[in-house]
Structure 1
């Protein structure tokens, strides 16, 4: 156990120092407007060089700083959360591999080296989702892996198509691609890859399923690494997406994702799945503002969201840990009197998610919604933006109502307390960043004030929608814990909205029924049928026959047979003569 403690602490110290270094370098790059491009020639064959390229600019350095900061706190948090796990060392090494894959993806301006990090994320995430080895985890891991493979194939096709440009360093060709005939195909493939990784409709079902992983993994994966990889890729490819018109399709899909996840979270009772659906909603917000041509705003929200969402998962982990692995919010209640420090962290992260003024989420969400109000946008997308914002407050207040207030709904003999100081240290550190991180980032990323001039009604619309969503969430929650459950009166609608518009069923049915059935038939008729009949089995049968013949000759004294054969030939010849 001592070694597992040291590996956690060593990883924490190393990642925290790397994070601070990356942060200071990123600030320096912003101030001096420096971009460092490094090429490392791995080997050369017949004048064809295999080159690894690294791009260090303010965006990649800041993102790396945030990822490593959150990873450090998550690993430190895991030391207590995963205490007693016999394979905790393997768990920490898997998390470190995950962080390394993310680093590769962040600093790569080259599609080939991006694929290294991209596939690394997919592989390690599968290993982490199936970490608790049971049927549910295996199914969730398979759904995650298969959904992400679609995006991997799209990225491979984009790599093949980039051969038309002579190099895979896409960063050089973004402006050239605008005027080329290939731009549309590459932009579609990149958007498809990003949509699978960031779980946009119709690939959304894997994200809540991936909650089968341990909670520290969820805190890392669903805040700043795996799900944000697609958003980050599109931030880099933003010029291409806006100019080709693929952005309009992406705006519709991401807006619907945001709306669907917000509705689904209001019908969910699993604590981790509610937070997963809120992640899905925020990813939809990032994608939608990105598709409108505001990559810097999307990046701003990406960083602030990483802070408060990691904190939210950590608080959920502490609650689940104390509730002896119960995740149902109906069995919680009045946690504020039992776990006051955890409740404070939980409520701060929840308020930051809702966009409470002067917390981290406020600076990015409010600016995004004001820019949307200022932009040329159709009524449907405008409705999706603001209604989804109301839904965020709706499910956040519902969650707080169920878990933090009211009557305690678990057993009378309960072990709830705030004694886990290692977990609390990580949570309090992130809580400080969730409070001050937004204002700090806004000063760094937007040093020149942005003038947004809106009518008074539009200016107050965000506040009005948030208050309305909060009131609706409170009213809906009051009706829930009773025999007259309101959602049961509209049962079909509740099932439809609560099951993410039947997306998990469609995803698994699509994998189970048609492709696997066809694959089974092809395997049975070809691999185990005709190819065996004329391939391996035929060779085997023929070899057996020939062996038997040779064995017969050997057992029956070949020399005598040859001699008698020669004699018979001689007799025949003499008779003929």
Structure 2
């Protein structure tokens, strides 16, 4: 049995065990904290802590289940790779880092998982080892390092408490200066890991990784780590931090939806869709609905993992082509994969009664009941409309019309291992939303809205679908006669110029500025007034004194003659 199958079976078994344990813990309202003391320094003890409660066990079961299906899927997708075992081991390290983060209530042990995710994600993003992958990997790693610095500062601030187990201080230290600073640092760390504005540019860049990795990263691991951390810290978030987080997350949701509507790379569209959903989770978390955020986190993990798997199967069949303009009529070539693809997209849009509907519709109705002003209400519904718009645009390009790829091709649904991997998730994409609503929401949310506000979700979805169809009909930006349309597509399609700021802004322009300063200051005025000036002055004085030394007798006699002549003049 190959390494792939061993890890697939192991993860699947552990996933089932974790799931049934979470049900047991949920029904008993039970949680367990295990503490293993590693080092004790004065009054501070470094403790390896493990927190077992319904939330950590349920999330771990989803992570293990999705990763088991992704590893099974990789058996065929990465089948031609000479370093298949190395790839599988990297994925396993990635999953173990995520589990360490999920089960840790201690900032020190969380940091192991947090940094493990950052390091292994870098190794996976640069897996194909070309210039694009190296640049994307460096952008991913360095952006995440900003959050790691905030995390380390949070650990330093927790020295004030005498323990790094934040679970003990969430209620007790609420409102204190130390806890406010720590929460702010954790929010900053969560924003970098979950790619909120202004740290969003690494998320589409990380698409340089192999597709099974993208499936894992964008569903249940790396990008959800920040959301999960903030769900744990939500009890001690102050109002100021929540308002900032709400504003940033809602803007991220809107920006990602706009960006996806202008994008032509299949994987980047799905990546921007993930970014939009992360903004949704973060913003609902900032409103106090941490259970809703966790609920959407789980349902989103299922359909997003399968969406990437379907995209991977298409890219695999299209000889690694990712441009949706080369696709079209794929329903005739890969019917089963396309059915999975459409079901996932409909779940993303919140179509009744798929898994995404239960969490997304509840979130929108929860927002409608809150009195947070027109801005939040509008940006939520506009962003939902944009989600439907880019989804319908994607379906239009990929499934309908003529087949736009090479006439000589080998595209079919014959990748049986990949299909079995996708088949393992599809039933959960359809049914798990309602199952989770019974499990997680012990008491139903009471929603009381007017008829028009209740129908608002349906109206926005229909309008969004129509806008997506119209967007798909538009002529490409560079062929358009309207220069205004071209520049708007450049601005919106590039995530409001964020990638340019985070790449050119942090390396090209500072280097160019440094070169100018070097020319003007180091080799310019400082040379003219500094070292070169000293050199020329000393050199001129040295030459002068050398002339005096060489002609001292002549000078003495000349001065003597001049003195005598002066005396004669004085006498007469």
- Distance verdict in 2 for CA 1:406–1:482, change over 3 Å: farther
TM, length-normalised to structure 2? 0.88
Change over 3 Å in CA distance of 1:182–1:46 after alignment to 2: closer
Whole-Å separation in 1 of the counterparts to 2:478 and 2:450: 46
Question: 2:315 matched to 1:311?
Answer: no
CA positional deviation for 1:257: 0.4
Structure 1 runs not aligned, ≥5 long: 526-577
Contact kept, 8 Å, 2:9 with 2:68, in 1: the verdict is yes
Contact 1:487 1:494 in 2 (8 A): no
SS at match of 2:173: helix
Q: Secondary structure at the match of 1:222?
A: helix
**Offset at residue 477 of structure 1 (A):** 1.1
* d(CA) in 2 for partners of 1:133, 1:420: 26
Residues 168-247 of structure 1: pairs in structure 2 closer than 5 A: 168-241=164-237, 243-247=238-242
How much has 1:448 moved relative to structure 2?
2.5
Aligned to 1:373: 368
Report what 2:90 is aligned to: 94
Name the residue aligned to 1:18.
14
What CA distance in whole angstroms lies between the structure 2 residues aligned with 1:48 and 1:434?
Answer: 46
Q: 1:46 to 1:251 in 2, by over 3 A?
A: closer
| Residues 297-321 of structure 1: per-residue CA shift (max 9 Å, x gap) | 0000000000000000000000000
Q: In structure 2, the residue corresponding to 1:55 is in which secondary structure?
A: strand
> Residue 275 in 1 paired to residue 270 in 2?
yes
Aligned mates of 2:480, 2:396 — CA distance in 1: 16
Which residue number corresponds to residue 108 of structure 1? 104
Match of 1:498 among 493, 498, 513: 493
Task: Sort the Cα spacing of 1:112 and 1:513 in 2 relative to 1 into closer, same or farther, 3 A.
Answer: same
> Which piece of structure 1 moves more, 344-353 or 444-453?
444-453
Structure 1 segment 39-58 matched on structure 2, within 5 A: 39-44=35-40, 49-58=45-54
Distance, in Å, in 1 between the alignment partners of 2:189 and 2:145 is 9
Match of 1:117 among 113, 116, 122: 113
Q: Does 1:464 align with 2:459?
A: yes
Q: Aligned residue for 2:421?
A: 426
Aligned counterpart, 2:149: 153
**1:299 aligns to what?**
294
Alignment partner of 1:75 out of 71, 82, 92? 71
| Whole-angstrom distance in 2 between the partners of 1:160 and 1:519 | 34
1:85 maps onto 2:81 in alignment: yes
1:402 and 2:397 equivalent?
yes
8 A contact 1:204–1:503 mirrored in 2 = yes
State the match for 1:250 in structure 2: 245
Cα distance in structure 2, aligned partners of 1:180 and 1:254: 25
2:328 aligned residue (308, 325, 333): 333
Shift of 1:413: 1.1
How many residues align? The count is 518
Q: Which residue does the alignment assign to 2:543?
A: none
TM-score (norm 1): 0.87
Larger radius of gyration: 2
- Check conservation: 1:41, 1:50, Cα contact below 8 A: yes
User: Are the aligned partners of 1:26 and 1:59 in contact in 2 as well (CA < 8 Å)?
Assistant: yes
SS at match of 1:38: strand
More displaced 10-residue stretch of structure 1: 376-385 or 122-131: 376-385
CA distance 1:519–1:151, change in 2 (3 Å): farther
Distance 2:469 2:41 in 1: 67
Residues 486-525 of structure 1, C-alpha deviation per residue, up to 9 Å, x if partnerless? 8866111111101100000000123204666799999xx9
Secondary structure in structure 2 of the residue aligned to 1:259: helix
User: C-alpha distance in 2, partners of 1:49/1:253?
Assistant: 36
- The two structures, once aligned, show a CA RMSD in angstroms of 1.8
Asked if structure 1 preserves the Cα contact closer than 8 Å seen for 2:480 and 2:486, the reply is no
Q: 1:518 to 1:490 in 2, by over 3 A?
A: closer
